[in-house]
Structure formats: structure tokens, C-alpha cells
Amino acid sequence: MPDVLLSENRGAVRILTMNRRDKLNALNTELTDALLKGLEAARDDDSVRAIVVTGAGRAFCAGADTSEFKTLTDDNPEAVLARANLSMRLHMAFPLLGKPIVAAARGHAVGGGAGLCLASDLVVASPTLKLGYPETKHGIVGAIVMTGLTRQLGPKKAFELVALGEPLTADAAHALGLVNRVVADETLLDEAVSLAAKLAAINPVAMRATKDLFYTVLELPYDQAMEAGRDANIAMRGFRSRT
């Protein structure tokens, strides 16, 4: 069986490729765990300064692997809790990781796959992208992915996406600010790696502090956010001496 996650370095950029192409890279437990561990390994490797997450084949990620749902029932509460915790940890790892993450997304990026796109710091998309949250159409809830979506998009449009379950095209996602760039499908990965390489060239201490502060102020009341900015302003005086 092929590895469900492929890892490749291009200079200071680590490329993590979800590799269940026959399942459109749907997130089963094995792939979810592998991707989380892949992110953690990149975090802990000082030679890696930026990360690209992508999917093998014609899709980024088709969300949760529904074939596992038959074992995730009320009769097996420990398995349900373990799987939910694993999914939560994976999505939380993206903003908490001290290195920038670029998603390179083509084809289906739905449900949990859309969540991974939005959890990434930047998204480069192919025109083939279909990004959405179809959970309600399957009688379930886009639960873990809803936090990131509402924070990035705001309540009205976010509710429309999770309630109706209709996908966005690449251009529509770009217009809403959910995608940074739309590039030709054949150059998708190269464009994402090029963008990640620019991020990797930045002082890593400054980059880590920028990312940490960005996601901190995103959630804080104005006065607390300003105080966090003041503290970072003071701390940055020592950045050069620590690199």
C-alpha cells in the first residue's frame, strides 16, 4: 500500500501531499494522523521554514472518509471521541504552528478539506477548485470546520455555505477572500512552492512572532489586541540577536 502522506523538501519548503488519490484524499483516521504528525515533524525541523499542503491527483481533499462512519456510532463512544479529538487537533495545528503554511488546492476541497484550506495561512488555487461544506446534504453538521469558516468569512455568508452546502468556484472563493491566488492548474504546485519560498526567506523568528501575533489579535477584544501588539513590539527588539 502506498504511503497516505508524502513528504518532500524543496530547499527550506516542506511539501506534504495527501496521497489517497483513489478516495480523493478523503481524511480517514490514518491520513488525519499522518498529516498531523507531518506538520509536527516540519515544525520541529529547523531546516524547514515553510510548508505546502496539497493533495495527490485531481483533488485537494474530499473531507472525512464516510466509510469510517459505520464504526463511529453511539455504541462506540470512545472511538467517536478519539476521532473527533484527532480532527480537532489537526485543524488547530495549522494556526498554532510557528511556520507559514500554504495550501495548493485543486478539484474538491470540501468539508474537512475546505477546513484545511481555510486553516492554512495562504491558499493558492487551481481554476478547478470546488470549495464547500456539503455536510447538511448528508444529514450531518460541518462541526469542527465551522470555527475557522465563521472567523474568516463572517456570519451571513458562512451560514449560507454551511446550511445550503453549495460549493464555491475558485473565482468565487477568491472574491470572498478565502483564496489568495488562482493560477493555472499545471503550475499550481510550483506557484505554491514559490510563494512558500518567499515566506521561508523571511527571518524565522520574525515570521513565527508575526504568525503568533496575527492569530492572537484575531480573537482578542481591541484593547487586549493592542496590548499584545505592544508586547510584540517590545520583544521584536531582540529578534536579530536570536537568529
What residues act catalytically?
135
State the DSSP H helix or E strand holding residue 171, giving kind and residue range, or none if neither.
Answer: helix 170-175
Angle at 200 between CA 175 and CA 123, to 5 degrees: 20
202 DSSP 8-state letter: S
Tell me the one-letter amino acid at 178.
L
Tell me the one-letter amino acid at 180.
N
The 130-132 sheet, strands edge to edge: 108-110, 130-132, 168-169
The C-alpha atoms of residue 8 and residue 191 are separated, in whole angstroms, by 16
Q: Quick one: which of 130, 119, 118 has its CA closest to 178?
A: 118
The C-alpha atoms of residue 173 and residue 39 are separated, in whole angstroms, by 25
The C-alpha atoms of residue 30 and residue 175 are separated, in whole angstroms, by 34
The C-alpha atoms of residue 42 and residue 14 are separated, in whole angstroms, by 7
